[in-house]
């Protein structure tokens, strides 16, 4: 059973659902954790998450299948990435089993908000880990809160599987060469807000960032990874320590090679070589696959396939990925977790 919502027209907006999960770390260990109806966090005014950005988060989705079941896509990968983020920011790690159990509890408790199959909408799940407690010097917290909340969402970029236009950020980097670009931490997004707002004011969906050391290579979009398709049947995506290791991207690398018979490559993507691509896409949990119709770089306007039509390879990749996520296409071993 689902509640009544305009499922086909959901945007990517916060919604306060009945239940979320919360767990506290103190004296070197996590408590059991539990569901709560309270959507407010209560924390010390001196929490390191607030002052020094000691926090990390994740994003994953629950999908309703044709027969009404609910399933998750590779939640173990999100757990592992949050652990890597925790290591980088010297936070307490959330064990994989605890992470997946928390996600399952939240999905089950809010089951009626998991959108019906066929609407294209999904339940977006946001795990969050923050350093809390009475700390004022710059040092890691000794107490942490791990919370998981969720909301039904539609497309992140307007139009879903319709091409969007992007602009290369020449004035702002989102990450530093040896910084935290490879971790899912709020600071990266704070650093991207200026470029994102300016991109949107210019009529673009978002900005595309260059490698912060040389500014010659494509890194990623503000909220998604980047890939391109060449006329030689290659799927190419940037390899860099300062981009987020996207679970969608690694899934597409696998599907491109093993399901579509393409050559899948992680490597340098120079801005000067952008015209090698006949199709370009942005990929991520929220973005799914968003076709990149065009990229502006100063005066240069690059068009990929079409500014209005989705290209054939991106459509095949989309059908394969989304088919797996919604249970219509057989998934590689271990990718799908049923919510029971």
Report the partner that residue 220 touches, choosing among ligand PLP, ligand COI, none (CB closer than 5 to 8 A by kind): ligand PLP
In the block, residue with structure tokens 């992680």: 266
Helix axes 247-258, 312-325, angle to 10 degrees: 110
In terms of CB distance, is 165 or 180 closer to ligand PLP? 180
The answer to the question of residue 220 lying near ligand PLP (CB under 6 A) is: yes
CA angle (283, 286, 291) in 5-degree steps: 40
Report the partner that residue 70 touches, choosing among ligand PLP, ligand COI, none (CB closer than 5 to 8 A by kind): none
In terms of CB distance, is 25 or 124 closer to ligand PLP? 124
Q: 158 an active-site residue? A: no
The answer to the question of residue 223 lying near ligand PLP (CB under 6 A) is: yes
The answer to the question of residue 10 lying near ligand COI (CB under 6 A) is: no
Asked if residue 172 lies in contact with residue 197, where contact means CB atoms within 8 angstroms, the answer is: no
Choose the catalytic residue: 29, 66, 87, 184.
Answer: 184
The answer to the question of residue 59 lying near ligand COI (CB under 6 A) is: yes
Q: How many CA atoms lie within 13 A of 110 on its CB side?
A: 30
**How far apart are alpha carbons 135 and 126 in whole angstroms?**
26
According to CB under 6 A, which one of 223, 280, 310, 317 is a site residue for ligand COI? Answer: 223
SS3 267: strand
Asked if residue 157 lies in contact with residue 205, where contact means CB atoms within 8 angstroms, the answer is: yes
What are the φ/ψ torsions at residue 68 (nearest 5 degrees)? Answer: 90, -5
The answer to the question of residue 285 lying near ligand PLP (CB under 6 A) is: yes
End-to-end CA distance of the chain: 15
The answer to the question of residue 123 lying near ligand PLP (CB under 6 A) is: no
Site residues for ligand COI, 260-289, by CB under 6 A, read: 284-286
According to CB under 6 A, which one of 244, 295, 310, 322 is a site residue for ligand PLP? Answer: 244
Burial grade of 268 (CB within 10 A; 0-12, 13-18, 19 or more): middle
According to CB under 6 A, which one of 248, 290, 294, 325 is a site residue for ligand PLP? Answer: 248
How many residues touch ligand PLP under the rule CB under 6 A: the total is: 13
**How far apart are alpha carbons 324 and 249 in whole angstroms?**
14
Cα dist from 101 to 23, 25, 26, 94, 332, whole Å? 12, 16, 20, 11, 22
In the bound complex, what is the minimum distance in angstroms from residue 286's beta carbon to ligand COI? 3
Instruction: Give residues in contact with ligand COI (CB under 6 A).
Output: 59, 223, 284-286
Q: Active-site positions?
A: 184
Instruction: Give residues in contact with ligand PLP (CB under 6 A).
Output: 59, 220, 223-225, 244, 246-249, 284-286
């Amino acid at each position: 059973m689902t509640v009544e919502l305009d499922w086909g027209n959901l945007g990517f907006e916060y919604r306060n659902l009945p239940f979320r999960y919360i767990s506290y770390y103190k004296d070197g260990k996590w408590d059991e954790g539990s569901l709560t109806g309270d959507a407010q966090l209560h924390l010390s005014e001196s929490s390191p998450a607030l002052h020094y950005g000691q926090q990390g988060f994740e994003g994953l989705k629950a999908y309703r299948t044709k027969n009404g079941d609910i399933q998750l896509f590779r939640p173990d990968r999100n757990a592992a990435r949050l652990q890597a983020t925790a290591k980088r920011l010297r936070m307490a790690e959330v064990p994989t089993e605890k992470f997946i159990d928390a996600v399952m509890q939240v999905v089950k408790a809010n089951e009626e908000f998991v959108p019906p199959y066929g609407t294209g909408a999904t339940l977006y799940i946001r795990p969050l880990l923050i350093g809390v407690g009475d700390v004022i010097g710059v040092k890691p917290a000794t107490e942490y809160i791990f919370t998981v909340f969720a909301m039904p969402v539609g497309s992140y970029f307007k139009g879903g599987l319709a091409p969007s236009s992007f602009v290369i950020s020449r004035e702002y980097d989102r990450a530093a060469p040896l910084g935290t670009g490879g971790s899912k931490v709020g600071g990266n997004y704070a650093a991207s807000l200026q470029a994102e707002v300016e991109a949107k004011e210019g009529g673009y969906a978002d900005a595309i960032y260059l490698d912060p050391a040389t500014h010659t290579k494509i890194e990623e979009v503000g909220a998604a990874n980047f890939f391109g398709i060449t006329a030689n049947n290659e799927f190419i995506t940037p390899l860099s320590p300062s981009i987020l290791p996207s679970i969608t991207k690694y899934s597409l690398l696998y599907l491109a090679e093993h399901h579509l018979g393409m050559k899948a490559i992680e490597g340098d993507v120079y801005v000067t070589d952008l015209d090698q691509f006949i199709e370009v896409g942005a990929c991520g949990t929220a973005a799914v696959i968003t076709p990149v119709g065009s990229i502006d770089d100063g005066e240069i306007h690059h068009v990929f396939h079409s500014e209005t039509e989705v290209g054939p390879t991106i459509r095949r990749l989309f059908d394969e990925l989304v088919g797996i996520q919604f249970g219509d296409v057989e998934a590689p071993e271990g990718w799908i977790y049923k919510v029971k």
